[in-house]
Amino acid sequence: MGKTIAIIPARGGSKRLPNKNVKPICGIPLLAYSIKYALSNSHIIDEVYVSSDSKNIKIIAQQYGAKIIHRPESLSGDSEPTVTALKHVLDTIEDVDTVILLQPTNPLRPKSLLKDAFNVFKTDTRKSLFTVSIDNKKLGKIIGGKYQPLNYKIGQRSQDLEPLYFENGLLYITEAELIKEKIIFNETSIPFIVNHKFATIDIDTQDDFDYAEYILKNYNEN
């Protein structure tokens, strides 16, 4: 039986928020939150890997207990999809059955999330799982200067909306063989619903970072 590993892809380049993966949030590097979360789930995860092209990221990852996979420059560009970094890790490591993807830009996760999601994944026949959250907003497009509702009719009450969900990025669980086909998840995957304030945190800008820090401080206090 093969291993279950966590992969945290953390490249060095970030244009909107430079060095975000090593930027301290409440005194701890952003990257470290995902490493610590993975290590706290050692009953599920056999090994924790950080894939990176950055020397600073690798140093911090090792300090917090992760193993390092050097990501080639050819797989570290702005337009490079995450799945190629995951496939590169699997090309390096043997005997892996399952991959848990933890994005460093989603640093906060409910404590029991991985345990609950992994139990669902193991009892289902589908090969991948991803987390989603409900979005109760009235959504629409503006085309030709005119607003066109998507999920409601003008005047409809919010509580009567048809539920819509968004991919929140908190975690992904995928069979290794699927990643080797360059697929993390698709329309046939298990959508695991997470309705928690942490699902609203995805750090790409300074505003995102400040919001995450506010939520973390408030969560610690309460």
Mean pLDDT of the chain: 92
Q: How confident is the model at residue 220 (pLDDT cuts 50, 70, 90)?
A: low
**Structural domain includes residue 160:** no
Residue 4 or 161, more confident: 4
Using alpha carbons, select from 121, 116, 101, 136 the residue that is nearest to residue 194: 116
Q: Which of 5-19, 25-39, 124-138, 196-210 is least confident?
A: 5-19
CA distances, 83 to each of 88, 178, 184 (Å): 9, 10, 6
- Domain total of the chain: 1
Q: Helix count (H) and strand count (E) of the chain?
A: 6, 11
Domain that holds residue 43: 3-139+167-221
Q: What SS3 class is residue 148?
A: strand
Residue 35's CATH number: 3.90.550.10
**Structural domain includes residue 158:** no
User: CB within 8 A of 222, min separation 6: which ones?
Assistant: none
pLDDT at 222: 46
**Structural domain includes residue 152:** no
**Structural domain includes residue 32:** yes
Query: What are the E-state strand segments in the chain?
Result: 3-9, 24-25, 28-29, 47-52, 67-70, 96-101, 128-135, 140-143, 146-149, 164-175, 190-193
**Structural domain includes residue 215:** yes
**Structural domain includes residue 7:** yes
pLDDT at 161: 85
